[in-house]
Structure 1
Amino acid sequence: MTEQLTIADQSLLKLIDSPDFNTQTCLADLGHYALLGVEGPDAAKFLQGQVTCDVRELANHVTRLGAQCNLKGRMLLSFRALQVDEQRILLRMHGGLIEKALATFGKYIVFSKAKLVDHSAHYRRVGLHGPAAESLLRTTLGQAPEHIDEWVAAGDHIIIKLDQQRYECWLAGDAEPVLAALSQHTHPAAENYWTLLDIRAGIGEVRPESDELFTPQSLNYQLVNAVNFRKGCYTGQEIVARLHYRGTLKRHMQRFTFIADEAALPLPGTAVNNNQGNATGEIVMAAYASPQRVEALVNIIDAQLTDAWLGHKKLEHLPLPYAIPSEENT
């Protein structure tokens, strides 16, 4: 069973199905995320040999999703990467994976002129979403990035554009005045709300329950610019590339909805079966869409989309904002 919904998310769920919901701008506490810094002259070079995304692209004031894999191509953790300057790259990941990240990156960074620093306490992480998000950022912080995946600095604060009217903010130093100003014009939200937005955007991530369970392709990372197949070698690259160039992917991450079960959400890695009880997929992550409904991302066999069950509950397939190839031969 997952943690109980926060008071903020309980209140927000009552609004989601109401006619007024689309007029609401929400401020989400993203304290469930952590920030790991990779710092030093070799920071970018070190990460380039460790992760699925092309770290060189970060120099253009963009962010990238990515993953660190084991030798079998299974994801140890996933992240959003941002390069603050030539010698500092920040990786935003689920807070339950920060210790693992320190250990897995730490095994190799000793050979580089770089170090790992947990910056979670230095930045206050919040998310802003809704029709007034951009205007609130410009009023409060003086600017907002224009393009998706672009970031800008507002003093020591960092603002990332994730989607239209959806932003992630890493507030440095004394964040209280900024939060107070934003709170005056927003509805409070927390982890469930932000996870729901990720689910609807088709962005899956590794959680502590699912580390070393999925390949990058299991989470559609090849479809959301989180894997670069031309960047060169990194740990697990041979397996990830083989799936891309030699294999036909018969499983993808898909979006589903189903009836809520009291106060429990299925944990990442929970098995999804067909009506004969055979395992056909696994939950990537799930969130309440209303008090009665749950939405989830599921890595599932493509041929089983209309025959997916979680225990006694039938899963209803929902669309994603990007196309899933019916057959991927590259």
Structure 2
Amino acid sequence: MIEQLTTADQSLLSLIDTPDFMSQTCLVDLDHYGLVGVEGPDAAKFLQGQVTCDVRELANGVTRLGAQCNIKGRMLVSFRALQLDEQRILLRMHHSLIEKALAGFGKYIVFSKAKLHDRSNHYRRIGISGPAAESLLHAALGTVPEQEGNWVAAGDHIIIKLDQQRYECWLAANAEAVIATLSPHTVAAAENLWTLLDIRAGIGEVRAESYEMFTPQALNYQLVEAINFRKGCYTGQEIVARLHYRGALKRHMYRISFAAGEDILPPPGSVINNSEGKAIGDIVMAAYSNPQQAEALANLIDEQLADAWLGPKKLEHLSLPYAIPREEKA
């Protein structure tokens, strides 16, 4: 699989490689995401029995990362969940998983007072990152969330605070007017930058290539509040819980860097070997960090981290914003 850079990302690569990159505020079109709506009186009850996160925690403007698993505990979809009201919950996920999510959840929703909808066309999704992100959004929309992981409504628009300098916005009817207000004060970018920022935040996601490949723990979901081990039953819960209570995790998701070619990135699921050619892990997602380098999240055997290779390229271990416990109880 070859991922070609957009014009916006090509220009941004040179910017990323300069000392003042972090002083830039960037605007990103998040059309690589889609939205699934779970709607009806039983929306929350239905999802509570299907996903790894505790849907009850979505009250009071909180979002949660989470996943739907198969009966073997392998992730079918990953998402960020947001509850609009008592009968409407939105799941934001990679667009390549929308149809799979509708089919996967659809098998179980038939006995619930709830329905599934593709709500991708209801919102224009953008991201804004950088030191001026908060002030620009406040000027354009009149409000921003105070806490990381929380969301607020600005009319029909939705603003999610991912971290101190990064926001995700789902814009409704007058989206173009909001974008026109933000654009003169920002640098245009595309999917590569947003993926890079997710990588640096240690937030992995399932994509079509990694469907049914990873357990939630393989993507460190136990470390980013995307699994609640006390919430009760859901599909695949027995396997996920068994890893937690009876096992010891010997592999985790790590951030790595490697030399990049002109336009080739390893797709999700690409195998990582050690120097002896033994498979020791898999790529979760990758992005360019400058014209010569790329970064990725990869699930790797802990003890093999120092001897990880992607083909002929030696992988360098980089830090994450959260600690990975050694000898962690799974």
> Is TM-score (shorter-chain normalized) higher than 0.5?
yes
1:248-285 Cα offsets, whole Å, 9 max, x none, are 00000001000002211000000000000000000000
Aligned ranges 1:274-285 → 2 under 5 Å: 274-285=274-285
1:164-199 Cα offsets, whole Å, 9 max, x none, are 110000001120000000101000111100000000
Q: Does 1:15 align with 2:52?
A: no
Match of 1:82 in 2: 82
What is the deviation of 1:60?
Answer: 2.0
Match of 1:252 in 2: 252
1:95-149 Cα offsets, whole Å, 9 max, x none, are 0000000000001111100001111011000000000000001100001001000
Match of 1:127 in 2: 127
Match of 1:202 in 2: 202
Number of residues of Structure 1 aligned to a counterpart in Structure 2: 330
Classify the secondary structure of the residue corresponding to 1:283: strand
Distance across 2 between alignment mates of 1:130 and 1:289: 16
Distance across 1 between alignment mates of 2:295 and 2:22: 18
Classify the secondary structure of the residue corresponding to 1:262: coil
Letter in 2 for 1:92: R
Q: Does 1:166 align with 2:176?
A: no
Distance across 1 between alignment mates of 2:63 and 2:19: 34
Distance across 2 between alignment mates of 1:19 and 1:67: 37
Match of 1:211 in 2: 211
Classify the secondary structure of the residue corresponding to 2:185: coil
Distance across 1 between alignment mates of 2:2 and 2:27: 22
Letter in 2 for 1:308: A
Classify the secondary structure of the residue corresponding to 1:138: helix
Distance across 1 between alignment mates of 2:19 and 2:323: 29
Q: Does 1:145 align with 2:145?
A: yes
List alignment gaps of at least 5 residues for structure 2: none
List alignment gaps of at least 5 residues for structure 1: none
Classify the secondary structure of the residue corresponding to 2:233: coil
Letter in 2 for 1:160: I
What is the deviation of 1:213?
Answer: 0.3
Distance across 1 between alignment mates of 2:148 and 2:53: 17
Match of 2:231 in 1: 231
Distance across 2 between alignment mates of 1:2 and 1:150: 35
Distance across 1 between alignment mates of 2:53 and 2:115: 20
Classify the secondary structure of the residue corresponding to 2:306: coil
Match of 2:33 in 1: 33
TM-score, length basis structure 1: 0.99
Match of 2:60 in 1: 60
TM-score, length basis structure 2: 0.99
Letter in 1 for 2:134: E
Match of 2:321 in 1: 321
Letter in 1 for 2:268: P
Distance across 1 between alignment mates of 2:11 and 2:316: 25
Letter in 2 for 1:233: C
What is the deviation of 1:33?
Answer: 0.2
Write out the 4+ residue segments of structure 1 that deviate beyond 2 Å after TM superposition.
Answer: none
Distance across 2 between alignment mates of 1:19 and 1:327: 37
